[in-house]
Amino acid sequence: MFEGIKKAFSNLKESIITKEITEEELEKHLWDFELKLIENNVTIEVARKLSEDFKKELVGKKIKRTEKIEKVIEETFKNKLEELLENTGNYNLIEKINNKKSKPFVIVFLGVNGVGKTTAIAKLCYFLKKKNLSCIIACSDTFRAGAIEQLELHAKNLGVEVVKHKYGASPTAVAFDAVQIAYKKNIDVVLIDTAGRMQTDKDLLDEMRKLVRVIQPDAVFLVVDSLTGNDSYKQAEIFAKEVGYDGFILTKVDADEKGGVALSITYETKKPIIFISHGMNYEDFMIAKREWIINKILGYGSD
């Protein structure tokens, strides 16, 4: 994962060999670096920012004899990545759940079809259960054929209750019932699945706004497929405008050889990546940490 960005940076690092970094020296390589970033799903704005920041930091910089030019460039890149990802790692869901005075803590999940939203919900349920938090799942996706059965299978595997109505029923009614059941049974967390919405589907977005207005969830997560590239930024922009959300669950990260979505989406939206989903099993799910993403890009270790 993140091999594309890792290679783009590695090529830049290896191409700069002088001990005093001149603008001419940098210009020869930064344009190619910028293009490589864009090819790997980094937005034009972020690619340009990284390129310009490199130039500001390094032009005219004299490298001490005891220093290696590669290390100086690497440290500069690391600092810039930290700036881009400054929001990631700051959202502590467990703390928010434990600090809420009254149960349940309600989470609504948004996302278009095919991003892995239902699987992400199941993985988060597994994660929360490992933290000794009880969960109930609401199937407010009453549109997609098979959605209810898919959630029921996950719920059975996880040993949690699922609340459902018939297909075509009101998604808001399903969510409302789940919250009421959780309140009566003293359940810690309600996880509300919703229909996969194309971000341009006005009727479905209207339904989602209604659900959020009525339920008033404690958190709203947008599930984003890291393989979708630039379309993920369009999704994030429109969902932010139409519904609003607190942060992202980034899915299919293990299959993402490019890595640009993880690098760009939090900078573009100023919202954090909260969780990373990276495999087929329930345990293939982790809290997003800025240091982990940076280490992957720089090639530091395996964890």
235-288 tens-digit pLDDT: 899 899 989 999 999 999 888 888 888 888 988 899 999 999 998 899 999 999
Q: 25-39, 50-64, 145-159: which has the highest mean pLDDT? A: 145-159
Q: Which CATH superfamily includes the segment(s) 3-84? A: SRP54, nucleotide-binding domain (1.20.120.140)
Task: Write out pLDDT tens, residues 291-303.
Answer: 988 988 887 755 5
**pLDDT classification of 20: cutoffs 50, 70, 90:** low
- In the chain, CATH 1.20.120.140 covers 3-84
Q: Where in the chain is the domain with CATH 3.40.50.300?
A: 93-298
Are 174 and 120 in contact by the 8 Å Cβ rule? The answer is no
> Rounded to the nearest 10 degrees, how much is the dihedral formed by the CA atoms of 7, 8, 13, 18?
140
Low-confidence winner among 44-48, 68-72, 175-179, 192-196 (lowest mean pLDDT)? 68-72
**Given this model, what pLDDT does residue 179 score?**
98
Buried b (16+ CB within 10 A) or exposed e, 183-219: eeeebbbbbbbbbbbebeeeebbebbeebbeebebbb
Under the phi-then-psi rule, with left for phi > 0, alpha for psi from -120 to 50, and beta for the rest, what region is 62?
Answer: beta
Separation of alpha carbons 47 and 31, rounded Å: 10
pLDDT at 184: 97
pLDDT in tens, 161-174: 999 999 989 999 99
Tokens of 7: 């290679």
Tokens of 274: 């909260």
- The predicted-structure confidence for 224-246, as pLDDT tens digits, reads as follows 999 888 888 888 998 999 899 99
Higher pLDDT, residue 146 or 166: 166
Residue 191's nearest CA partner among 246, 117, 98 is: 117
CATH superfamily of 93-298: P-loop containing nucleotide triphosphate hydrolases (3.40.50.300)
What integer pLDDT is reported at residue 65 of this predicted model? 62
The pLDDT assigned to 92 comes to: 95
Q: What would the mean pLDDT of 10-33 be, rounded to a whole number?
A: 77
Burial 159-181 (b: 16+ CB within 10 A, else e): ebbbbbbeeeeebbebbbebbeb
Q: What pLDDT, in 10s, does the model give residues 43-97? A: 999 999 988 888 888 777 666 665 677 788 888 889 989 988 988 888 999 999 9
Q: Tell me: pLDDT of 197 over 80.
A: no
Exposure of 152 by Cβ count < 10 A (0-12 exposed, 13-18 middle, 19+ buried)? middle
pLDDT of residue 63: 66
pLDDT of residue 300: 75
Mean pLDDT of the chain: 89
State the pTM of this model.
0.91
